[in-house]
Amino acid sequence: MQKFFMIRDLIETEHDRPTILIRLMVGLVFLSEGIQKFLFPAIRGAGRFETIGLPAPEFFGSFVGGVEIVCGLLVLAGLLTRLASIPLMGIMLVALSTTKLEIFRNEGFWEMMHASRTDWSMLLGSIFLLLRGGGAWSADRMLSRNNNPMGSGNPEPPPGTPDQGEQAGREPA
């Protein structure tokens, strides 16, 4: 029974509809970057990893590209969104520490901030998805509704249905 609750906690998600915008942003960027690591390995994959001094650049170029593709697709589908966001956060932390700290040392704070704007967006978007889950229009939401014998925990009221505050004559929260 404990295993069921762990899986349920992993796919449980808020029913926020705008979360799909964050999923689209994060998922499409990582999917695209992962594909480019294979299409253009000299400048996006192993070649880039060798230039910045990462060990085993051939292996890590392909490995990171594969993780970006798989996790990007999972985020886009909203499937295992929380789990998929964890390696993406790690990728962004490595990217910031291996490429942007050098820019900071050599060219200053503002140049580093300019060069790292996408990195920060992807990191913060991934953190958001870890905390909130895939949202209303996600595979996680469908799975948590359909496969939870205890109920979905946080069901979304049908459209047009007053919530408990409205029923009691209070303003909705």
Whole-number pLDDT of residue 173: 47
**How many C-beta atoms surround the C-beta of residue 98 within 10 A?**
13
d(Cα 34, Cα 40) in Å, to the nearest integer? Answer: 10
Structure tokens at 83: 């789990």
Confidence of residue 145 (pLDDT cuts 50, 70, 90): confident
Mean pLDDT of 134-146: 88
Average pLDDT, the chain: 86
In a domain, 118, yes or no: no
In a domain, 161, yes or no: no
Q: Is 50 exceeded by the pLDDT of residue 125?
A: yes
Of the chain, the percentage scoring pLDDT greater than 90 comes to: 72
Domains contained in the chain, number: 1
In a domain, 29, yes or no: yes
In a domain, 73, yes or no: yes
H helix runs in 40-136, sequence order: 41-44, 46-51, 57-77, 81-95, 101-107, 109-115, 117-132
In a domain, 162, yes or no: no
Burial of 75 (0-12, 13-18, 19+ CB in 10 A): buried
Whole-number pLDDT of residue 64: 97
Q: What is the pTM of this model?
A: 0.79
In a domain, 66, yes or no: yes
In a domain, 171, yes or no: no
In a domain, 95, yes or no: no
d(Cα 66, Cα 34) in Å, to the nearest integer? Answer: 6
The answer to whether 130 and 82 are in contact (CB under 8 A) is yes
Confidence of residue 153 (pLDDT cuts 50, 70, 90): very low
Parent domain of 53: 2-86+126-145
